[in-house]
Chain A
Protein backbone atom coordinates (compact mmCIF):
# COMPACT_ATOMS: atom_id res chain seq x y z
CA UNK A 1 0.00 0.00 0.00
CA UNK A 2 1.55 3.22 -1.11
CA UNK A 3 1.53 6.16 1.25
CA UNK A 4 2.05 9.37 -0.64
CA UNK A 5 4.30 11.90 1.07
CA UNK A 6 6.44 14.92 0.32
CA UNK A 7 10.04 15.18 1.49
CA UNK A 8 12.02 18.41 1.19
CA UNK A 9 15.80 18.31 1.39
CA UNK A 10 16.77 21.53 3.17
CA UNK A 11 20.38 21.08 2.05
CA UNK A 12 19.32 21.38 -1.57
CA UNK A 13 16.43 23.85 -1.60
CA UNK A 14 17.60 27.13 -3.16
CA UNK A 15 14.36 29.05 -2.55
CA UNK A 16 13.68 29.41 -6.26
CA UNK A 17 9.93 29.05 -5.68
CA UNK A 18 9.70 26.88 -8.78
CA UNK A 19 7.46 24.46 -6.87
CA UNK A 20 5.10 27.29 -5.92
CA UNK A 21 4.93 28.45 -9.52
CA UNK A 22 4.48 24.93 -10.85
CA UNK A 23 1.61 24.33 -8.43
CA UNK A 24 -0.15 27.58 -9.25
CA UNK A 25 0.23 27.00 -12.96
CA UNK A 26 -0.75 23.34 -13.01
CA UNK A 27 -3.84 23.78 -10.85
CA UNK A 28 -4.73 27.34 -11.89
CA UNK A 29 -4.91 28.37 -8.26
CA UNK A 30 -6.58 31.78 -7.80
CA UNK A 31 -4.95 34.89 -6.38
CA UNK A 32 -4.51 34.88 -2.64
CA UNK A 33 -4.32 31.12 -2.36
CA UNK A 34 -0.96 29.41 -2.02
CA UNK A 35 -1.21 25.68 -1.83
CA UNK A 36 2.57 25.52 -1.53
CA UNK A 37 5.11 28.03 -0.28
CA UNK A 38 8.79 28.14 0.52
CA UNK A 39 9.70 28.93 4.12
CA UNK A 40 13.17 30.25 4.95
CA UNK A 41 14.63 30.29 8.42
CA UNK A 42 17.69 32.21 9.55
CA UNK A 43 17.08 34.43 6.55
CA UNK A 44 20.20 36.40 5.69
CA UNK A 45 22.45 34.65 8.22
CA UNK A 46 25.44 33.48 6.24
CA UNK A 47 25.79 29.73 6.30
CA UNK A 48 22.75 29.17 8.50
CA UNK A 49 20.00 29.95 6.03
CA UNK A 50 17.77 27.01 5.21
CA UNK A 51 14.73 26.86 3.00
CA UNK A 52 12.06 24.25 2.87
CA UNK A 53 9.03 23.88 0.66
CA UNK A 54 5.82 23.33 2.62
CA UNK A 55 2.31 22.31 1.62
CA UNK A 56 -0.21 19.82 2.93
CA UNK A 57 1.86 16.93 4.28
CA UNK A 58 -1.00 14.44 3.90
CA UNK A 59 -0.67 13.37 7.52
CA UNK A 60 -1.30 9.76 8.43
CA UNK A 61 -3.43 10.96 11.34
CA UNK A 62 -4.60 14.25 9.92
CA UNK A 63 -5.84 16.83 12.48
CA UNK A 64 -7.91 18.60 9.82
CA UNK A 65 -9.96 15.44 9.38
CA UNK A 66 -10.44 15.20 13.12
CA UNK A 67 -11.77 18.73 13.61
CA UNK A 68 -13.93 19.16 10.51
CA UNK A 69 -17.52 19.67 11.74
CA UNK A 70 -19.08 18.54 8.45
CA UNK A 71 -16.74 15.57 7.86
CA UNK A 72 -15.75 16.68 4.39
CA UNK A 73 -12.26 15.13 4.50
CA UNK A 74 -11.33 11.69 3.32
CA UNK A 75 -8.18 9.72 2.70
CA UNK A 76 -7.56 7.84 -0.51
CA UNK A 77 -6.09 4.37 -0.85
CA UNK A 78 -2.73 6.03 -1.46
CA UNK A 79 -2.81 8.03 1.75
CA UNK A 80 -3.69 11.36 0.13
CA UNK A 81 -5.89 13.63 2.27
CA UNK A 82 -8.61 15.21 0.14
CA UNK A 83 -11.86 17.03 0.81
CA UNK A 84 -15.24 17.62 -0.75
CA UNK A 85 -15.71 21.32 -1.52
CA UNK A 86 -19.45 20.84 -1.95
CA UNK A 87 -19.65 20.10 1.77
CA UNK A 88 -17.07 22.55 3.12
CA UNK A 89 -18.60 25.47 4.97
CA UNK A 90 -15.38 27.49 5.18
CA UNK A 91 -15.36 27.58 8.97
CA UNK A 92 -11.56 27.53 9.17
CA UNK A 93 -11.25 24.93 11.92
CA UNK A 94 -8.91 22.91 9.71
CA UNK A 95 -6.68 25.96 9.35
CA UNK A 96 -6.33 26.25 13.12
CA UNK A 97 -5.71 22.52 13.48
CA UNK A 98 -3.12 22.17 10.74
CA UNK A 99 0.48 22.49 12.00
CA UNK A 100 1.68 23.42 8.50
CA UNK A 101 -0.83 26.15 7.64
CA UNK A 102 -1.88 24.16 4.59
CA UNK A 103 -5.60 25.03 4.34
CA UNK A 104 -6.15 28.21 2.35
CA UNK A 105 -9.27 30.30 2.04
CA UNK A 106 -10.04 32.52 -0.92
CA UNK A 107 -11.17 35.96 0.20
CA UNK A 108 -12.60 37.29 -3.03
CA UNK A 109 -15.99 38.24 -1.65
CA UNK A 110 -17.17 41.37 0.12
CA UNK A 111 -16.73 42.01 3.86
CA UNK A 112 -13.81 39.58 4.15
CA UNK A 113 -16.04 36.67 3.17
CA UNK A 114 -14.17 33.42 3.53
CA UNK A 115 -14.70 30.91 0.76
CA UNK A 116 -14.44 27.16 0.75
CA UNK A 117 -11.16 25.73 1.85
CA UNK A 118 -8.52 24.98 -0.76
CA UNK A 119 -5.36 23.00 -0.21
CA UNK A 120 -2.74 20.84 -1.87
CA UNK A 121 -4.33 17.71 -3.30
CA UNK A 122 -1.07 15.91 -4.09
CA UNK A 123 -2.27 16.58 -7.65
CA UNK A 124 -4.95 13.95 -7.05
CA UNK A 125 -8.05 16.07 -7.74
CA UNK A 126 -11.09 15.44 -5.60
CA UNK A 127 -14.44 13.66 -5.47
CA UNK A 128 -15.50 14.42 -9.02
CA UNK A 129 -15.05 12.29 -12.11
CA UNK A 130 -11.31 11.89 -12.68
CA UNK A 131 -9.80 14.30 -15.20
CA UNK A 132 -13.17 16.01 -15.72
CA UNK A 133 -13.67 19.76 -16.10
CA UNK A 134 -15.62 19.84 -12.84
CA UNK A 135 -12.72 18.29 -10.99
CA UNK A 136 -10.24 20.68 -12.53
CA UNK A 137 -12.38 23.72 -11.70
CA UNK A 138 -12.75 22.78 -8.05
CA UNK A 139 -9.56 20.94 -7.18
CA UNK A 140 -7.08 21.32 -10.01
CA UNK A 141 -5.27 18.78 -12.11
CA UNK A 142 -5.48 15.07 -11.31
CA UNK A 143 -1.97 14.02 -12.24
CA UNK A 144 -2.10 10.77 -10.29
CA UNK A 145 -4.89 9.63 -12.58
CA UNK A 146 -2.58 10.48 -15.48
CA UNK A 147 0.14 8.25 -14.05
CA UNK A 148 2.22 11.23 -12.95
CA UNK A 149 3.46 12.69 -9.68
CA UNK A 150 2.70 16.16 -8.29
CA UNK A 151 3.93 18.95 -10.54
CA UNK A 152 5.89 20.68 -7.75
CA UNK A 153 8.08 17.64 -7.08
CA UNK A 154 8.58 16.74 -10.71
CA UNK A 155 9.46 20.34 -11.60
CA UNK A 156 11.94 20.88 -8.76
CA UNK A 157 15.21 21.88 -10.43
CA UNK A 158 17.53 20.67 -7.68
CA UNK A 159 15.31 17.72 -6.77
CA UNK A 160 15.13 19.07 -3.23
CA UNK A 161 11.43 18.35 -3.17
CA UNK A 162 10.61 14.69 -3.56
CA UNK A 163 7.08 13.36 -3.85
CA UNK A 164 5.72 9.85 -3.90
CA UNK A 165 5.44 6.75 -1.81
CA UNK A 166 7.10 7.41 1.55
CA UNK A 167 9.25 4.29 1.35
CA UNK A 168 10.58 5.07 -2.12
CA UNK A 169 11.43 8.71 -1.52
CA UNK A 170 12.99 7.89 1.84
CA UNK A 171 15.28 5.44 0.02
CA UNK A 172 16.20 8.11 -2.52
CA UNK A 173 16.99 10.57 0.26
CA UNK A 174 19.00 8.04 2.23
CA UNK A 175 21.05 7.15 -0.80
CA UNK A 176 21.67 10.84 -1.43
CA UNK A 177 22.85 11.45 2.12
CA UNK A 178 25.26 8.54 1.93
CA UNK A 179 26.70 9.85 -1.34
CA UNK A 180 27.29 13.27 0.17
CA UNK A 181 30.19 11.74 2.00
CA UNK A 182 28.81 12.45 5.42
CA UNK A 183 27.61 9.93 7.90
CA UNK A 184 24.86 9.76 10.41
CA UNK A 185 25.57 13.33 11.59
CA UNK A 186 23.70 14.69 8.59
CA UNK A 187 20.43 13.28 9.83
CA UNK A 188 18.13 14.94 12.26
CA UNK A 189 16.93 18.30 13.38
CA UNK A 190 20.32 19.97 13.73
CA UNK A 191 21.27 19.39 10.13
CA UNK A 192 17.88 20.07 8.67
CA UNK A 193 17.24 23.31 10.52
CA UNK A 194 20.67 24.56 11.58
CA UNK A 195 21.98 25.45 15.03
CA UNK A 196 19.47 25.73 17.83
CA UNK A 197 20.09 29.32 18.99
CA UNK A 198 18.61 32.07 16.83
CA UNK A 199 21.29 33.74 14.77
CA UNK A 200 23.94 31.23 15.74
CA UNK A 201 26.49 30.32 13.13
CA UNK A 202 27.48 26.80 12.16
CA UNK A 203 30.96 25.73 13.27
CA UNK A 204 33.79 27.16 11.20
CA UNK A 205 35.32 24.73 8.72
CA UNK A 206 38.48 23.04 9.92
CA UNK A 207 41.67 24.24 8.22
CA UNK A 208 42.90 21.78 5.66
CA UNK A 209 46.43 20.43 6.14
CA UNK A 210 48.89 21.86 3.64
CA UNK A 211 49.62 19.52 0.77
CA UNK A 212 53.09 19.16 -0.69
CA UNK A 213 53.27 19.71 -4.42
Chain B
Protein backbone atom coordinates (compact mmCIF):
# COMPACT_ATOMS: atom_id res chain seq x y z
CA UNK B 1 0.00 0.00 0.00
CA UNK B 2 1.45 3.25 -1.10
CA UNK B 3 1.37 6.26 1.13
CA UNK B 4 2.16 8.95 -1.37
CA UNK B 5 -1.43 10.06 -1.57
CA UNK B 6 -1.43 10.56 2.16
CA UNK B 7 1.80 12.41 2.52
CA UNK B 8 2.82 14.44 -0.50
CA UNK B 9 5.75 16.70 0.22
CA UNK B 10 6.30 19.62 -2.06
CA UNK B 11 9.41 21.36 -3.22
CA UNK B 12 8.40 24.80 -4.30
CA UNK B 13 10.78 26.54 -6.64
CA UNK B 14 10.41 29.90 -8.30
CA UNK B 15 12.13 29.62 -11.65
CA UNK B 16 11.67 33.13 -12.93
CA UNK B 17 8.19 33.85 -11.83
CA UNK B 18 6.85 37.29 -11.18
CA UNK B 19 5.87 35.80 -7.80
CA UNK B 20 2.19 35.93 -8.58
CA UNK B 21 1.89 32.15 -8.71
CA UNK B 22 4.20 31.83 -5.72
CA UNK B 23 1.93 33.92 -3.58
CA UNK B 24 -0.93 31.68 -4.57
CA UNK B 25 1.10 28.59 -3.71
CA UNK B 26 1.86 30.00 -0.29
CA UNK B 27 -1.76 30.92 0.11
CA UNK B 28 -2.54 27.23 -0.08
CA UNK B 29 -0.73 26.82 3.21
CA UNK B 30 -2.81 29.43 4.95
CA UNK B 31 -5.86 28.53 7.05
CA UNK B 32 -8.14 29.41 4.15
CA UNK B 33 -7.03 26.51 1.96
CA UNK B 34 -4.88 24.55 4.43
CA UNK B 35 -3.20 21.87 2.34
CA UNK B 36 -1.68 20.43 5.47
CA UNK B 37 -4.96 18.58 5.95
CA UNK B 38 -3.88 16.41 3.08
CA UNK B 39 -0.51 15.93 4.65
CA UNK B 40 1.20 18.34 2.28
CA UNK B 41 4.32 19.94 3.64
CA UNK B 42 6.23 22.63 1.86
CA UNK B 43 9.74 21.38 2.29
CA UNK B 44 12.73 23.18 0.90
CA UNK B 45 14.95 20.16 0.53
CA UNK B 46 14.75 18.26 -2.74
CA UNK B 47 15.90 15.05 -1.11
CA UNK B 48 12.77 15.04 1.00
CA UNK B 49 10.28 16.10 -1.66
CA UNK B 50 7.90 14.12 -3.87
CA UNK B 51 6.38 16.87 -5.90
CA UNK B 52 8.40 19.54 -7.63
CA UNK B 53 6.18 22.57 -7.82
CA UNK B 54 7.65 25.04 -10.29
CA UNK B 55 6.42 28.46 -11.12
CA UNK B 56 7.78 30.73 -13.76
CA UNK B 57 9.68 30.06 -16.94
CA UNK B 58 13.12 28.70 -17.45
CA UNK B 59 16.00 30.90 -18.51
CA UNK B 60 19.62 30.18 -19.23
CA UNK B 61 20.64 30.79 -15.64
CA UNK B 62 18.19 28.61 -13.85
CA UNK B 63 18.01 25.80 -16.37
CA UNK B 64 20.90 24.03 -14.70
CA UNK B 65 19.45 24.61 -11.27
CA UNK B 66 16.06 23.25 -12.20
CA UNK B 67 17.72 20.19 -13.66
CA UNK B 68 19.92 19.83 -10.57
CA UNK B 69 16.99 20.03 -8.18
CA UNK B 70 15.05 17.56 -10.23
CA UNK B 71 17.95 15.13 -10.26
CA UNK B 72 18.43 15.43 -6.52
CA UNK B 73 14.88 14.37 -5.84
CA UNK B 74 14.56 10.70 -5.13
CA UNK B 75 12.17 8.51 -7.08
CA UNK B 76 9.26 8.48 -7.44
CA UNK B 77 8.79 12.11 -8.23
CA UNK B 78 6.44 14.25 -10.23
CA UNK B 79 6.65 17.74 -11.57
CA UNK B 80 3.78 20.17 -11.39
CA UNK B 81 4.22 23.29 -13.47
CA UNK B 82 2.11 26.08 -12.08
CA UNK B 83 1.01 28.97 -14.19
CA UNK B 84 1.18 29.76 -17.86
CA UNK B 85 4.80 30.86 -17.63
CA UNK B 86 5.81 27.40 -16.56
CA UNK B 87 4.01 26.00 -19.57
CA UNK B 88 5.25 28.23 -22.31
CA UNK B 89 6.80 31.33 -20.94
CA UNK B 90 3.51 33.16 -20.65
CA UNK B 91 3.69 36.90 -21.32
CA UNK B 92 7.45 36.67 -21.23
CA UNK B 93 7.72 34.03 -23.94
CA UNK B 94 9.44 36.34 -26.42
CA UNK B 95 12.00 37.72 -23.98
CA UNK B 96 15.62 37.20 -24.93
CA UNK B 97 16.51 35.37 -21.75
CA UNK B 98 13.56 33.01 -21.58
CA UNK B 99 14.26 29.53 -22.86
CA UNK B 100 10.66 28.44 -22.59
CA UNK B 101 8.52 26.44 -20.25
CA UNK B 102 9.74 23.99 -17.68
CA UNK B 103 9.33 21.10 -20.10
CA UNK B 104 12.38 22.31 -21.97
CA UNK B 105 14.53 21.09 -19.10
CA UNK B 106 12.69 18.41 -17.16
CA UNK B 107 9.68 16.21 -17.86
CA UNK B 108 6.46 17.71 -16.52
CA UNK B 109 3.55 15.63 -15.32
CA UNK B 110 0.85 18.14 -14.54
CA UNK B 111 0.23 21.65 -15.79
CA UNK B 112 -1.81 24.05 -13.75
CA UNK B 113 -3.18 26.86 -15.88
CA UNK B 114 -3.65 30.44 -14.81
CA UNK B 115 -1.91 33.74 -14.48
CA UNK B 116 -1.80 33.72 -11.58
CA UNK B 117 -3.10 30.25 -10.91
CA UNK B 118 -5.81 30.04 -8.30
CA UNK B 119 -5.14 28.11 -5.10
CA UNK B 120 -8.04 25.82 -5.91
CA UNK B 121 -6.42 24.98 -9.26
CA UNK B 122 -3.10 24.41 -7.63
CA UNK B 123 -4.60 22.02 -5.13
CA UNK B 124 -6.44 20.30 -7.95
CA UNK B 125 -3.19 19.97 -9.86
CA UNK B 126 -1.40 18.53 -6.84
CA UNK B 127 -4.18 15.98 -6.36
CA UNK B 128 -3.85 14.89 -9.97
CA UNK B 129 -0.11 14.68 -9.53
CA UNK B 130 -0.65 12.29 -6.66
CA UNK B 131 -2.33 9.86 -8.98
CA UNK B 132 0.61 10.05 -11.34
CA UNK B 133 2.91 9.61 -8.37
CA UNK B 134 1.28 6.39 -7.36
CA UNK B 135 1.66 4.96 -10.83
CA UNK B 136 5.29 5.98 -10.94
CA UNK B 137 5.82 4.35 -7.60
CA UNK B 138 4.53 1.04 -8.92
CA UNK B 139 6.74 1.32 -11.96
CA UNK B 140 9.73 2.24 -9.80
CA UNK B 141 9.22 -0.75 -7.55
CA UNK B 142 9.01 -3.11 -10.48
CA UNK B 143 12.04 -1.54 -12.08
CA UNK B 144 14.16 -1.62 -8.96
CA UNK B 145 13.81 -5.34 -8.53
CA UNK B 146 14.98 -6.00 -12.02
CA UNK B 147 18.06 -3.87 -12.47
CA UNK B 148 21.51 -4.79 -11.30
CA UNK B 149 24.66 -2.83 -10.69
CA UNK B 150 26.02 -1.69 -7.37
CA UNK B 151 26.13 2.04 -7.61
CA UNK B 152 23.87 4.21 -9.57
CA UNK B 153 25.29 7.66 -9.52
CA UNK B 154 22.74 10.32 -10.18
CA UNK B 155 24.64 12.78 -12.29
CA UNK B 156 24.06 15.97 -10.40
CA UNK B 157 27.78 16.47 -10.41
CA UNK B 158 28.80 18.19 -13.57
CA UNK B 159 32.29 18.19 -14.92
CA UNK B 160 32.13 21.79 -16.09
CA UNK B 161 30.22 24.34 -14.03
CA UNK B 162 30.07 27.06 -16.61
CA UNK B 163 31.64 28.31 -19.78
CA UNK B 164 33.41 31.10 -17.96
CA UNK B 165 35.75 29.73 -15.32
CA UNK B 166 38.00 26.72 -15.26
CA UNK B 167 38.19 25.60 -11.67
CA UNK B 168 40.99 23.35 -10.57
CA UNK B 169 39.32 20.04 -9.91
CA UNK B 170 42.28 18.94 -7.80
CA UNK B 171 41.96 19.56 -4.12
CA UNK B 172 44.86 21.34 -2.54
CA UNK B 173 44.97 22.00 1.17
CA UNK B 174 42.29 24.30 2.35
CA UNK B 175 43.34 25.89 5.56
Task: State yes or no: do A and B come from one complex.
Answer: no
